[in-house]
Structure 1
């Protein structure tokens, strides 16, 4: 409940040797793989809220995993491997940032989890009617997903897991279905677990906007740190998720903590007990009937302590993880750090983070191979650097028994997360007459110990353009600058021109390339070259023509392909250059008159 002042290629044959070695080494890793888990290390489930600048504090001491700032940072600092979760703020049915600013934020935060609003159910925070929040969420969701399909979208953190707040959430859910004809497409569910009174004109969280009630949970100040009430909220929210077909989704808690000051009895010792109690609770809560199956049926996947650095809440002095003046850990921060240290597991996690993609040089002749360069970027999102590994490219899927297209190795491995990805590339030649599926698979020999491998493979489709579109380029002489020629001498000038196919459908039969002095429609035809799949079977395709009996002079020379009726663009079927055959001048000796 952030206050309103925030208000509130390796050499040929390499793999013949290295591959078997990798396989033997990989066998030594089997049996030591950690069990499947939503998050690689439990310490990374714990995060914190930052009200100033995270770089002002040595957050590596805390041994946590993520943070929020209640904003969208275009270039967020993510020290010590912490993961930033951007947040939009909602006003009515709109949100900020939006438009160009939000588009830039998305481009700079690819693959992040986006939180849409902050306590929209709370009149002291975003304060949004349910029907308006449904619109804002819909528009923000599709704006972000259209620009980054890898993004995860979370609802705003509902202030508390109480019946009154879930009534507000029901109104949002039903409003979305009524307006858009489908359930809300939520990737990540989100709640807060404050223990606050729900009553008009009283301390606490009051009544959610759009809910017809005057009171809800009438908790007292001394209930504020009751772990059992926190547990009730998580279970109640998870039950709501199951009732709405959302049990398989993650649930995160993007803000909770102690908002009461020391003069209300909440000293360091009491707050520290609450932190340790809730951290242990969140990390251990499991229920096969309610929890997330992918995460060993845990009820809560991540939680975020309020706060790293704020020592003020609504005019009262409260406790943070760091002393804002000395930049030293407080006793609460020390408790956070100790818990994280005791719950850390070292792991690596490779993923294809970009691609695979390809660039193509399409075959000029039908049934001849096109030439491709395949690319994929591999990142390590774990907290431990990897050793060497390979990336395999192939047709179909890795489960199919087929020779791979090729492999590339990253012998140095990758550092821990937030380091630049490894960019892998292989060359490939293939006859492509229909759409093909190509995969990129990181670590096919299981060299890297990962906590899960479901993101090691990604696919793309290679689809040839359905048109024929021949293009001429780089018409030149050999040599490109012609030497001096005596005035009475003629020479043979070799001409060359490159032929490419911008379309994916190649030429059937012969291809004539004509050479002209002057424009093809009005000039002098110098001769032609006939090419076909037998005499020009490989790429690049080049037409070479010997232009005989050329006297010194300057000539405008064209190369031209008479276009087929179905050539998509005839304008690029010709090209010209100025050819200069310079004359060698003769200078007679001077004769002196007598």
Structure 2
């Protein structure tokens, strides 16, 4: 969800950190404007452009996202059910990391994970994927809880600004909510504190829950969650896989459960959903007329998208997001193969034809529906923010100050004024040097711009707070003006030290 702490300012950070300095530079806590969320909050909710709520799941077994022209989809984020040190961000898409808790892959390579966390400050990390499923991670609640604990604590020890989410169960059925209750209980019992969860996730795959040991001829779907004693849970037909009314019931059930357990003030992401069943299975006539099933998939996609964009509840919704029930959701899949009746592999609903791996790829009919719906939601916006400050000696008692500037919006900006102050300008701070103009700056995840000022510190003063202000005269229309100023504490040391860049704290998923 709304993602990184400014992971896309790393280029500027590396530039500033490479400079030999004789001033210690740290972020000041003097102003709430120092906190720069990567995506602006608007009166409409957490996202200035609604398309940024909608994501896609990439089937790496087929190909990675670079094989496809995803810019035409205008999706806001994606995941691959894995982790990367340097994920790509086509068209400014966010990347959601996922750490498996499957015994075949757990524990992770902690040294490798350390590098990935350090390289992606403020990212969203999901721990586990369908942990309760016998054919996925196959964990009891009591097995999952300590794995979550260890990964959560490791991530937070490396990057306190990271957001950590619980992995998604297949669907929020009564049996799987019971499984989650036991996870919470197991964590509390083992560690003596409530389980810390920044972001809640769930999948919304509407499939059967039947024990294969009890009824082997009708146990397609999710089976019974590991560690739960039951023969049946929710029973469905294949036609239920695309039932709009059932989808709404399950979303409401998840948010109701969260509210009852004290998690109302946490964001909820549907981290995987779609129509897995073949189109021929979705209605009585679909076997002979698969086009009817295809129409059901397309309708399910657009109706659920519209519902998720607008569904609110004043008693169980997420207050920072206008009481919306769900903050982000991810369609499955970008590029998986359709169901193969001979091998029993593959799923329905992919947006690109899996046969064509040559860029830009080929949209399926579902991809065209996705593109038409999501691209119409895009609202262009600019969101400028400071992105660090460094100082090096320039001789004669003067210093060169290098300030980074980033654009968190989805549209490039031009003719951007940057101003530097000694002290908070709102409290009488004085300007250092003259205004500097940045000719152009790309959208988020583009390389940040840097500007330089020459400064002579007052004699006898060992500490100063300097403020970088972007667009100080409010010439540029932005979605968020509250993050255009950042303060940095500088302390004269007289010998080389490492620069500490500002920690830009997210206040939204």
TM range (shorter): 0.7 to 0.9
SS at the partner of 2:126? strand
> Structure 1's 36 and 392: CA in aligned 2 closer, same or farther, altered over 3 A?
farther
Query: Does residue 75 of structure 2 align to residue 64 of structure 1?
Result: yes
TM-score for the superposition, normalised by structure 2: 0.76
Q: Within 5 A, what are the aligned runs for 1:4-15?
A: none
For CA contacts below 8 A with separation 6 or more, give which structure has more relative contact order: 2
TM-score for the superposition, normalised by structure 1: 0.66
SS at the partner of 1:387? strand
Root mean square deviation, CA, Å: 3.0
> Structure 1's 116 and 447: CA in aligned 2 closer, same or farther, altered over 3 A?
farther
In structure 1, which of residues 117, 131, 145 is the aligned counterpart of residue 142 of structure 2?
131
Give the Å deviation of 1:204: 1.6
Give the Å deviation of 1:302: 1.1
In structure 1, which of residues 405, 413, 416 is the aligned counterpart of residue 443 of structure 2?
416
Match of 2:252 in 1: 235
Query: Does residue 407 of structure 2 align to residue 380 of structure 1?
Result: yes
Query: Does residue 282 of structure 2 align to residue 265 of structure 1?
Result: yes
> Structure 1's 331 and 423: CA in aligned 2 closer, same or farther, altered over 3 A?
same
SS at the partner of 2:378? coil
CA contact under 8 A between 1:131 and 1:172: conserved in structure 2? yes
Bigger mean CA offset, 442-451 vs 296-305: 442-451
Query: Does residue 264 of structure 2 align to residue 247 of structure 1?
Result: yes
Query: Does residue 416 of structure 2 align to residue 403 of structure 1?
Result: no
> Structure 1's 95 and 43: CA in aligned 2 closer, same or farther, altered over 3 A?
same
| Structure 2: 5+ residue stretches without partners | 1-40, 213-218, 284-292, 498-509
Match of 1:198 in 2: 209
Give the Å deviation of 1:425: 3.7
Match of 2:355 in 1: 325
Match of 1:43 in 2: 51
Give the Å deviation of 1:167: 1.8
In structure 2, which of residues 326, 349, 352 is the aligned counterpart of residue 300 of structure 1?
326
Distance across 1 between alignment mates of 2:402 and 2:192: 40
Q: Which has the larger radius of gyration?
A: 1
Q: Which has the higher strand share?
A: 1
Query: Does residue 127 of structure 2 align to residue 116 of structure 1?
Result: yes
In structure 2, which of residues 230, 240, 255 is the aligned counterpart of residue 223 of structure 1?
240
Query: Does residue 391 of structure 2 align to residue 355 of structure 1?
Result: no
Give the Å deviation of 1:437: 4.6
| Structure 1: 5+ residue stretches without partners | 1-32, 364-369, 466-500, 505-594
> Structure 1's 244 and 419: CA in aligned 2 closer, same or farther, altered over 3 A?
same
Match of 1:208 in 2: 225
Bigger mean CA offset, 420-429 vs 37-46: 420-429
Query: Does residue 484 of structure 2 align to residue 451 of structure 1?
Result: no
> Structure 1's 401 and 415: CA in aligned 2 closer, same or farther, altered over 3 A?
same
> Structure 1's 280 and 94: CA in aligned 2 closer, same or farther, altered over 3 A?
same
Q: Which has the higher helix share?
A: 2
CA contact under 8 A between 1:106 and 1:147: conserved in structure 2? yes
Bigger mean CA offset, 100-109 vs 58-67: 100-109
> Structure 1's 170 and 44: CA in aligned 2 closer, same or farther, altered over 3 A?
same
Give the Å deviation of 1:274: 0.7
User: What is the aligned residue count?
Assistant: 430
Give the Å deviation of 1:431: 5.3
SS at the partner of 1:255? strand
SS at the partner of 2:440? coil
Give the Å deviation of 1:256: 0.3
CA contact under 8 A between 1:37 and 1:451: conserved in structure 2? no
Give the Å deviation of 1:264: 1.2
